[in-house]
Amino acid sequence: MPRNRTRAVPVGAVTIGGGAPIAVQSMAATRTQDVEATVRQVNLLQAAGADLVRIAVDSRRDAEALAEIRRRTTATLSVDLQENYRLAVLVAPHVDKIRYNPGHLYHHEREKPVREKVALIAEAAAAHDCALRVGVNCGSVDPEQSAAHGEDDVGAMVASALEHCALLDGLGFTRYVVSLKDSDWRKVVDANRRFAAQRPDVPLHLGVTEAGMPPEGVIKTRIAFEQLLGQGVGDTVRVSLTVPFERKGEEIAAAREIIDDIAHGRFRSVPDWFDHGLNIISCPSCSRVENEAFVELAQQVKQVAAYARDYDITIAVMGCRVNGPGETDGADLGLWCGPAAVNLKRGSELLGAFPYDRVLDRLRVALDELIAQQRAGAR
Ligand code: SF4
């Protein structure tokens, strides 16, 4: 299998890049403060063959829970920071890698230069033998880069990643990897190719975010990985699937199967129907999910919308208010979950917030309207 000559980034017992075997990772979908459940899911993923398991931390109490989780598992752990970048100092002693999102560094302390925030994260990582991931995500790109690149949203993602690589290099911190994720596999391929052409030395973490439920979520991810890993781009992967707790190990099994197929030259051509018809994207869920009914809701959306399979309509189902509002903007219909209600959107317009047991009826109405419009346009 051809591999780009990236530098080796040690992450606990794992090495990412430098020709090491492609590491497979996943993320706990539990509430981090539910230590019992999180430890159980981390261990479930480790038993399924995960090289690395990520946990989200949004608060001091999450960071305290993380310390306890660390004591109770041998898994190599990574942590996902959101807006509160200062938590890096609290989490670094307990994990092997810290992921930060450049697009989220703008929310706190707006007057402070981004370089200072990155420096704080890098210092915490260096002091505790941690690697970093610069995790750029389509739904939360640095607003300055988005403004500068206009329609070229992939260009904005790539520019943001390159900017943060330069910042880290300038700080003398080179133990990092980069990810550029989107829910559209084409953009994932485009972004990673463009980045790798400019920084072939930086290891890449590949993934199609909010890929959805199996089998479609696996198919989208497989297409992206075939295009990228098949050309030597990518050093670690995650397959993001919306599946219930006990089936989370399917993410690892799917990733290993895809890598093995590519390594043996078993490429599957893109089914010609795949680019057309109903496309349901849904996040894999994580500790930020505010109502555990989310996974069931995503499955119900798939069932309820099945009658629209021949229409070019994208429905996005997201688990929380952190990424839900932004990452549903690009879909024809979007649902993002709050504690007691589900917010339903049409494009970027909010149609309302509906109780969990009523939102599917309202979704059906909105879907019917879209189908009517597509039919009228086809006449
Ligand atoms: S949308 Fe929210 S709940 Fe879903 S994976 Fe992203 S952060 Fe987690």
pLDDT digits (tens, 9 = 90+) for 32-49: 999 999 999 999 999 999
Query: What's the rounded Cα separation, in Å, for the pair 70 and 165?
Result: 29
Q: To test the ligand 1 pocket, which listed residue (209, 283, 291, 343) has its Cβ within 8 A of the most ligand atoms?
A: 283
Q: Which of 175-179, 185-189, 265-269, 301-305 has the lowest mean pLDDT?
A: 265-269
Packed helices 359-378 and 294-304: angle between N→C axes, nearest 10 degrees: 40
**What is the C-alpha separation between 268 and 261, in angstroms, rounded?**
9
Q: Is 205 in the pocket of ligand 1 (CB under 6 A)?
A: no
Q: How far is the CA of 212 from the centre of ligand 1 (A)?
A: 12
Distance from the alpha carbon of residue 290 to the mean position of ligand 1, in angstroms: 10
- Tell me the backbone φ, ψ of residue 247, rounded to 5 degrees: -100, 10
Closest by CA position to 246, among listed 103, 66, 43, 90: 43
Taking Cα atoms as reference points, which of 245, 232, 191 lies closest to residue 34?
245
Band of residue 273 on the pLDDT scale cut at 50, 70, 90: low
Residue 209 CA to ligand 1 center (angstroms) comes to 10
Residue 318 CB less than 6 A away from ligand 1? yes
Query: Comparing C-alpha atoms, which of 177, 153, 163 is closest to residue 54?
Result: 177
Ligand 1 centroid from CA 321, angstroms: 8
Is residue 378 over pLDDT 80?
no
Separation CA 80–CA 349 (nearest Å): 29
The proportion of the chain whose per-residue pLDDT surpasses 70, expressed as a percent, equals: 98
**Is 275's pLDDT higher than 80?**
no
pLDDT for residue 326 = 84
- Quickly list H helices, 203-291: 216-229, 250-263
Q: Which class is 9-263 in CATH?
A: alpha beta
Tens of pLDDT along 62-104?
999 999 999 999 999 999 998 899 999 999 999 999 999 999 9
Nearest CA to ligand 1 atom 5: 285
C-alpha of residue 284 to centroid of ligand 1, in Å: 7
| Mean pLDDT of the 100-116 span | 91
pLDDT digits (tens, 9 = 90+) for 286-334: 888 989 899 999 999 999 999 999 999 999 999 998 888 888 988 999 9
Fold designation for 279-378:
Sulfite Reductase Hemoprotein; domain 1 (3.30.413)
Backbone angles phi, psi at 33, to 5 degrees: -75, -10
Which 3 state secondary structure label does DSSP give 113? coil
Q: Is 12 helix (H, G, I), strand (E, B) or coil?
A: coil
The whole-angstrom separation of Cα 370 and Cα 30 is 35
Give the strand pairing for 204-206 and 176-181. parallel
Instruction: State yes or no: pLDDT of 5 exceeds 70.
Output: yes
Amino acid at 337: C
323 lines ligand 1 (CB under 6 A): yes
pLDDT confidence band for 274 (50 / 70 / 90): low
Residue 291 DSSP label: -
> What are the boundaries of each domain within the chain?
9-263, 279-378
Grouping H, G, I as helix, E, B as strand and the rest as coil, residue 356 is coil
Q: What per-residue confidence (pLDDT) applies to 269?
A: 55
